[in-house]
């Protein structure tokens, strides 16, 4: 009996976007947008003046999130993004400003509109999950998750390993 070869695709999104070079372009475009957009002033001010270190971490994170090399986990452990973002006041405006920068960056780097939409939808879920303050300033817990998390707690969050919606 002839066996048909079974294609093994382990990292479709990482390959689809164009690998690490494309992720680097995306993150560069993202921070350029954050540096220039009026509504991003508040979130830009949360970051260090020199973005080199953050840029590197974000590139490593997105590579892994998209199904590429797992260097982020190797270097920094589980992402626990909600815990890592606790020091910053993330309200709806901060979330929307972050997404506006990402929207601009995706438009620059990902030509396929369907793929762009998939990524944007997945990133919006994460950005909203990271929101830790209501517009009025009240502390907000993620449903089912205490606001206070402890170091070493498993990242029981819905976006890592990658859960970018798969296209059919
Ligand atoms: C919702 C609005 C967001 C704000 C205001 C925000 C802000 C920040 C800030 C201020 C830092 C620290 C940067 C530094 O150390 O200089 C950071 C780190 C980081 N952010 Fe965000 N962020 C947001 C959303 C997101 C989203 C949606 C993602 C992922 C899809 C993300 C991924 C990361 C990662 C991976 C780091 C580095 C974590 C580490 O230290 O390992 N952020 N963010």
pLDDT in the model for residue 31: 98
Closest ligand 1 atom to residue 126 Cα is 27
| Ligand 1 centroid to residue 148 C-alpha, Å | 18
pLDDT in the model for residue 1: 59
Phi-psi region of 160 (alpha: psi -120 to 50; beta: other; left: phi over 0): beta
pLDDT band at 165; cut points 50, 70, 90? very low
Closest ligand 1 atom to residue 51 Cα is 16
pLDDT in the model for residue 5: 72
Closest ligand 1 atom to residue 90 Cα is 5
Share of the chain above pLDDT 90, in %: 72
Residue 21 to residues 74, 124, 158, 165: CA-CA distances in angstroms?
Answer: 20, 23, 26, 22
pLDDT in the model for residue 98: 98
pLDDT in the model for residue 11: 77
Integer Cα distance of 133 and 82 in angstroms: 12
* Degrees to nearest 5, angle at CA 116 with 114 and 122: 105
- Flag whether pLDDT at 142 surpasses 90: no
Instruction: Name which residue leads in pLDDT, 153 or 118.
Output: 118
Q: Which residues contact 141 (CB under 8 A, 6 or more apart)?
A: 147
Backbone angles phi, psi at 60, to 5 degrees: -60, -40
User: Domain 17-130, what fold?
Assistant: Globin-like (1.10.490)
Q: Which residues line ligand 1 (CB under 6 A)?
A: 43, 46-48, 54, 57-58, 61, 76, 81, 84-85, 88, 90, 94-95, 98, 123, 126-127, 130
Domain ranges of the chain: 17-130
Hey, is 41 helix, strand or coil?
A: helix
Contact 102, 39 (CB under 8 A): no
| Ligand 1 centroid to residue 151 C-alpha, Å | 17
User: DSSP secondary-structure letter at 139?
Assistant: B
- pLDDT tens profile 74-83: 999 999 999 9
Site of tokens 């009996």: 1
Q: Which residues contact 108 (CB under 8 A, 6 or more apart)?
A: 25, 26, 29
- pLDDT tens profile 81-135: 999 999 999 999 999 999 999 999 999 999 999 999 999 999 999 999 999 998 6
Hey, is 133 helix, strand or coil?
A: strand
- pLDDT tens profile 29-64: 999 999 999 999 999 999 999 999 999 999 999 999
């Amino acid at each position: 009996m002839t066996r048909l070869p079974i294609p093994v695709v382990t990292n479709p999104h990482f390959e689809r976007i164009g690998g690490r070079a494309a992720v680097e372009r995306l993150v560069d475009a993202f921070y350029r947008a954050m540096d220039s957009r009026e509504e991003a002033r508040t979130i830009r001010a949360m970051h260090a003046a020199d973005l080199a270190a953050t840029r590197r971490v974000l590139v490593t994170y997105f590579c892994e999130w998209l199904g590429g090399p797992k260097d982020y986990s190797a270097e920094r452990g589980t992402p626990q993004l909600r815990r890592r973002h606790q020091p910053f006041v993330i309200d709806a405006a901060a979330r929307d400003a972050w997404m506006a920068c990402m929207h601009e960056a995706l438009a620059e780097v990902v030509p396929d509109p369907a793929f762009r939409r998939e990524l944007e939808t997945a990133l919006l879920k994460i950005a909203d999950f990271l929101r830790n303050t209501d517009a009025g300033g009240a502390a907000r817990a993620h449903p089912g998750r205490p606001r206070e998390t402890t170091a070493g707690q498993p990242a029981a969050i819905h976006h890592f390993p990658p859960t970018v919606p798969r296209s059919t």
